[in-house]
Structure 1
Amino acid sequence: MESISAINSQFPHWFPETYKRFSGNASALPVDQNELLALIAPGRVVVASATDDGNADPQGEFLSYLGAARVYALYGLGDTGLPSTSWPPTAGKSFRGPGMSYHLRSGGHGLEDADWDNYLGTDLFER
């Protein structure tokens, strides 16, 4: 999993300067990923992961997706579309609820042709 220190060093343009104070101190962050995803509600959120993406932490993304469902439920949109809350879900299959969509593909970091086919050729992003 990519650390805050590493991401601040390698991609300093991705975050504001204030993010640097959390390098080596992730537990001091005022919010977690599930809370950031929940801020999108009631808009559709789509989480796409890859099984071997060590930078992005696919299991953490999955858990954040599940955690955000509680806020989506306040809008009547809490169904994640997943058949189970157990990790890992089936790779290569898309899951769609009324306000949330999730996809886990096999492989590593990056975007592949199959990803684009999935994003553009399915209803993951449709309201």
Structure 2
Amino acid sequence: MQRIRYLFLVLSLFLITGCTNSGPIKSFKGYFHTVESSNTLRIDCSSAVQKNDPYGTDIGYMCKVEVTENTIIGTEDGKKLKVNDLAELDVEKTNTPRSVKVVLAEEHDINTSGSSREGLKASKIVISN
């Protein structure tokens, strides 16, 4: 009987652990905030953090996303953009947040840790119209 209880406890812990962490992601949606430097964007990544947050808080999180020479930047209707164009969409200038989808160059585990939200490299960035 004791073994059955122990086995049940261990299996329950595996199930709980499996359900609370979604792991690495390839893309996320959020809001474009600002161009931080010539190749780094600040983008709201709260939706990605909340997927990996077992406590489900409503705290907002920002990610630093690097744009490389291979990053494709554009709008939903296919218009190509450059990083300089994004500076004109800065939420502090326009006072209107723009929805954005970021496709990462590599899967990444984005969570509440600040270091997990820095140094992300984008392969594609799509700004809503």
Does TM, normalized by the shorter one, top 0.5?
no
Report the structure number with the largest CA radius of gyration.
2
Instruction: Return the TM-score normalized by structure 1.
Output: 0.24
**Greater relative contact order, per chain length (Cα 8 Å cut-off, separation 6+):** 2
